[in-house]
Amino acid sequence: MSRYTQTTDDTHEPALRSWLDSANVCECDFPIQNLPFGRFRQSEDSEWSIGVAIGDQVLDLRKAALVDISAMNELMQLPARTRKALRAAISRGLAFGSAQEGSFRTALRPMSDVELGLPCEIGDYTDFYTSIYHATTVGKQFRPENPLLPNYKWVPIGYHGRGSSILPSGREFHRPRGQIKEPSKDAPVLAASTRLDYELEIGIFIGRPNPLGEPIPIESAEEHIFGLTLFNDWSARDLQPWEYQPLGPFLSKNFASSVSPWMVTLDALEPFRKPFARPVDDPQPLPYLDSSANRARGAIDVDLEVWLQTEKMRAAGYPGDRLMRSNFADAYWTAAQLVAHHTVNGCNLIQGDLLGSGTLSGAAPEQGGSLLELSDGGKKKISLSNSETRTFLLDGDTVILRGSCERDGFARIGFGECRGTVLPPRSVP
């Protein structure tokens, strides 16, 4: 066991190096201490393969004789101890001086030469609302005197989203249309959204299923989580207010969401755990949402960023501007609490189900996880470095989400990118 914490092991050792040079580069998202899982293929005609990111390469787990499973969702169901053993075997094979270097090298593929898709077959998708800062800021735009609804501090708020429209990172999507009702008008019109927005989120992928009717206790909730990703829940803010009452978001949310190609496992995130605590004046979680382990280490320190690259920036070869930073550890509910609450009524989660954290904003105004917050509902223009301005997204804009974990005494690990580009709306048939 490592000397660093009780929950880390030799795979987290900061001095560990790989025989693959690109994995040892400073600020690399995928050093040997990370080893996130995803899927790749050589061409559109080939089948998806299970891969692990290492440096600028993808390790084909079947070619490396590490698994005899061909489907990622099958691997995700493995017990936590089996997944931990697989991670250790991958680490040993990639480590500098490994006797397996020769066989592993034949199983490597450059990321630039393969297609990275959705990290698994996605089943259902549930989006939560875990940032109290986001909920408060947005609530003030509609209810200045009472921004938080009475249930917010008691129950993890969520709604059932649309899994079929979740896109892999890098995919473009068309600006949505829907009914828009201006406050001064008597009737809505069908039109393309002009208040298109992003939402900075963490995605939580379920690995181990639970049978219908059997809640998952919070004490074992993390055994059912396979890993975390970056997630962008694109939102049409002008469709949303007209449709969301009484049943919640619909066309304003289900036209597209983007997810990064790599699932960073909870094992890789062990060094970046933090205590979870509520303000003393806030109601404490009900017993089914509380445990000693969740209080001691339920939060995860993931630094998050949103970047915007406009069409003009892209034409000039400029990578874009960073719009904000926030941290997953500031969420009002933990990943374990989301799983426990989702299943307390007997709901059965299956491998590949995705839980979105909801927009992850910080306490400061400049830490808004959406343009709705940064532009104060479209009232304030956001100035970009090339003299362009934005309140909401324009056609041709690319939004890039990034995430990373850093802590003294451990290697930095990253999540890669979650990227998506807005195309003009399609014509109505």
Residues involved in catalysis: 134
As a whole number of angstroms, the distance between CA 259 and CA 91 comes to 25
As a whole number of angstroms, the distance between CA 105 and CA 59 comes to 8
CB atoms within 10 A of CB 363: 12
Residue 369 near residue 401 (C-beta atoms within 8 A) = no
Residue 209 near residue 76 (C-beta atoms within 8 A) = no
As a whole number of angstroms, the distance between CA 64 and CA 72 comes to 15
Residue 126 near residue 160 (C-beta atoms within 8 A) = yes
Residue 229 near residue 200 (C-beta atoms within 8 A) = no
Residue 354 identity: L
As a whole number of angstroms, the distance between CA 100 and CA 88 comes to 13
Burial tier of 280 (Cβ tally within 10 Å: 0-12, 13-18, 19+): exposed
CB atoms within 10 A of CB 106: 9
Length of the chain in residues, anyone? 429
